[in-house]
Structure 1
Amino acid sequence: MKVLILGLGHVGKAVATKLKADGHSVVGTTTTEAKVAELSTLVEQVFVLKGEETDKVIAAAEGCDAIIATVAPNVRNTRTKEERETHYHQALELSCQSAAKACPRVIFLSSFSVYGDGGVDSAPISELTPTSNHEEPSSKYYQKAEQEVLSNAQGCVLRFPDMYGAPGDIDFPQRVKMAIEYFGGKAIFGADAPLYAIHFNDVVSSVYHALNNELTGIYNVCDNENIPSTNKVVFDAICDDNDWLRLEFLNQIKAPNRKISADKIYATGYAVEHGDPNADVVARAQSTGQGA
């Protein structure tokens, strides 16, 4: 099999390594010329392009059986809604539009943000739950990107929560510290949403699973056995653990308000291997009475 990885970031590089070890042919893309030499040790050919450059994506995908789209905007360019409007549109919708034109078999790494808060239903959020939050760019353009991928019958969308554990990634206490120092102690998401998170290695294995098992359609990917603590419970515990002032939650970006079901992908034989990364700090806070 020949595969194009659109976006050779941490996930793209790890998937490429796994595919090459199995004897597949892998090519990939980057937007940065300076990274070509390093990336050339991982894939057979590196193309320097932006996902919105459709003709270049089509040329890069020549002879490919599948495209794995791991594209994502740079978070440093997404502090305001206006910035998110520009960068999410370019990085997500236009990239997937190009990929879908280049190859009918596209696997796109999407986000739980498409559900907004999940609505008023009390049942677990599944792939059949209507999407919402259509005005917020960080949700809207994931939805538009999904639509491009699913315009082909062979398209596959994997919806993920926030990822942690990638090489060089910052942990959750460091993320809270960044919110304090970089965003003035304010969090743009809501307090009461469960803080779902997925380990980098589980993301990689789910992409590999979807490709090898020829999955099509939409799949939620998360721990299907446990519901994590809410944003407020987790981040209050982290702040208390480090003697920091607690964050203020602005509730500008909606996040799912209840359990998210991964029954569909679990039924195909896949399961995550890593549990809740914040369980220990929450348990410490509860044991001292701070997490009440």
Structure 2
Amino acid sequence: MKLFILGLGHVGKALASKLKADGHSVSGSTTTLEKVAELEKLVDSVHVLKGEESEKVVAAAQGCDAIIVTVAPNVRNTRTKEEREIHYEQVLVRSCASANMACPRVIFLSSFSVYGDGGEGSAAIDENTPTANHQEPSSKYYQLAEQQVLKSAQGCVLRFPDMYGAPGDFSFPQRVKMAMDYFAGKAIFSADAPLYAIHFEDVVNAVHHVISAQLTGVFNVCDNDNVPATNKRVFDAICDENAWPRLEFLDQIKAPKRKISAAKIYATGYQVKHPDPNADVVARVSV
């Protein structure tokens, strides 16, 4: 197949290597001209463009069998709700709209934030659970981006929790320190939501699985067999272990407060391989 990866970041680069090894023709994009020489070693062609530049995306992806949209907001551009409104719409919705214009087969890496807090009830949250929190920019614009992708019957949306483990990525203690340094010790998410996280290799493997199995529709992707500790319990443990003051949780970005089911994608033969990255610190520290 001829594949185009919109966003050759860590996930995009690792995915490109796997797809090339499978014999596919792979091209991709970056917003940084200085990265082109490095990226040309991984893919057949590199295009310098932003996802919002629809004409450039259509031209770059001409003749492709599928586009994989891996773009994601930059946390440094999302310190306020106003910044999130602008940045999330630009990066997510416009990129997916451009991809949909270029090819009917679009695979989009979305977020669990579309569920808000999951609503009422105790049953596990699955792909049929209604989306929610239509005002908060993260949730709202991921939902709008998904809608662009699902306009086509060939579209596929993969909903992920926070990703960790990419080369050069921040560890969870480093993320806590960033909240202190950049956000005055405030965390914009919910205290009592389970802290689902997924290793970037499991993200790459999920996208590769979708392409290989020709899956369409919506899939949750996480550890289907375990429910992690809450945000508060994890981050309190990290703070206590490092003798830092505990974070204040603002509950602006709501997250599901109960188990999230990934049974649908597990039934197709995929499962995550990496365990909960925060289980050890929670076990070590009494909170």
Q: TM-score, normalised by structure 1?
A: 0.97
State the secondary structure of the residue aligned to 1:169: coil
Q: In structure 2, what residue type is equivalent to 1:66?
A: A
Corresponding residue number in structure 1 for 2:41? 41
Which stretch shifts more, 245-254 or 149-158? 245-254
Aligned pairs (5 A) from 1:109-124: 109-124=109-124
Rounded Cα–Cα distance in structure 2 between residues aligned with 1:31 and 1:167: 19
> What are the Cα deviations for residues 90-116 of structure 1, in whole angstroms up to 9, with x where unaligned?
110010001011001110000000000
Corresponding residue number in structure 2 for 1:64? 64
Corresponding residue number in structure 1 for 2:29? 29
Q: In structure 1, what residue type is equivalent to 2:172?
A: F
Gaps of 5+ in 1: none
Corresponding residue number in structure 2 for 1:132? 132
Corresponding residue number in structure 2 for 1:173? 173
State the secondary structure of the residue aligned to 1:274: coil
Rounded Cα–Cα distance in structure 2 between residues aligned with 1:92 and 1:199: 21
State the secondary structure of the residue aligned to 1:178: helix
Q: Which runs of 4+ in 1 moved over 4 A?
A: none
Which stretch shifts more, 180-189 or 263-272? 180-189
Q: In structure 1, what residue type is equivalent to 2:33?
A: E
Rounded Cα–Cα distance in structure 1 between residues aligned with 2:122 and 2:237: 27
Rounded Cα–Cα distance in structure 1 between residues aligned with 2:253 and 2:56: 34
Q: In structure 1, what residue type is equivalent to 2:13?
A: K
Superposition deviation, residue 52 in structure 1: 1.1
Residue 261 (1) aligns with residue 256 (2): no
Aligned pairs (5 A) from 1:225-244: 225-244=225-244
Aligned pairs (5 A) from 1:1-292: 1-285=1-285, 290-291=286-287
Q: In structure 1, what residue type is equivalent to 2:272?
A: V
Superposition deviation, residue 120 in structure 1: 1.0
Superposition deviation, residue 163 in structure 1: 0.2
State the secondary structure of the residue aligned to 2:276: coil
Superposition deviation, residue 205 in structure 1: 0.1
Superposition deviation, residue 123 in structure 1: 0.6
> What are the Cα deviations for residues 219-250 of structure 1, in whole angstroms up to 9, with x where unaligned?
00000000000001000111111111111111
Superposition deviation, residue 23 in structure 1: 1.1
Rounded Cα–Cα distance in structure 2 between residues aligned with 1:22 and 1:251: 43
Superposition deviation, residue 78 in structure 1: 0.7
Q: In structure 1, what residue type is equivalent to 2:109?
A: L
Superposition deviation, residue 121 in structure 1: 1.6
State the secondary structure of the residue aligned to 1:38: helix
Rounded Cα–Cα distance in structure 1 between residues aligned with 2:121 and 2:150: 26
Alignment root-mean-square deviation, CA: 0.7
Rounded Cα–Cα distance in structure 2 between residues aligned with 1:130 and 1:22: 36
Rounded Cα–Cα distance in structure 1 between residues aligned with 2:277 and 2:73: 24
Superposition deviation, residue 125 in structure 1: 0.4
State the secondary structure of the residue aligned to 2:8: coil
State the secondary structure of the residue aligned to 1:76: helix
Q: In structure 2, what residue type is equivalent to 1:176?
A: V
Q: In structure 2, what residue type is equivalent to 1:96?
A: C
How many pairs does the alignment contain?
287
Rounded Cα–Cα distance in structure 1 between residues aligned with 2:245 and 2:135: 31
Percent identity for Structure 1 against Structure 2: 76
Q: In structure 2, what residue type is equivalent to 1:147?
A: Q
Q: In structure 2, what residue type is equivalent to 1:114?
A: V
Superposition deviation, residue 31 in structure 1: 1.0
State the secondary structure of the residue aligned to 1:194: coil
Rounded Cα–Cα distance in structure 2 between residues aligned with 1:84 and 1:184: 18
Superposition deviation, residue 183 in structure 1: 1.1
Q: In structure 2, what residue type is equivalent to 1:248?
A: E
> What are the Cα deviations for residues 18-57 of structure 1, in whole angstroms up to 9, with x where unaligned?
1111111000011111111111111111111111111111
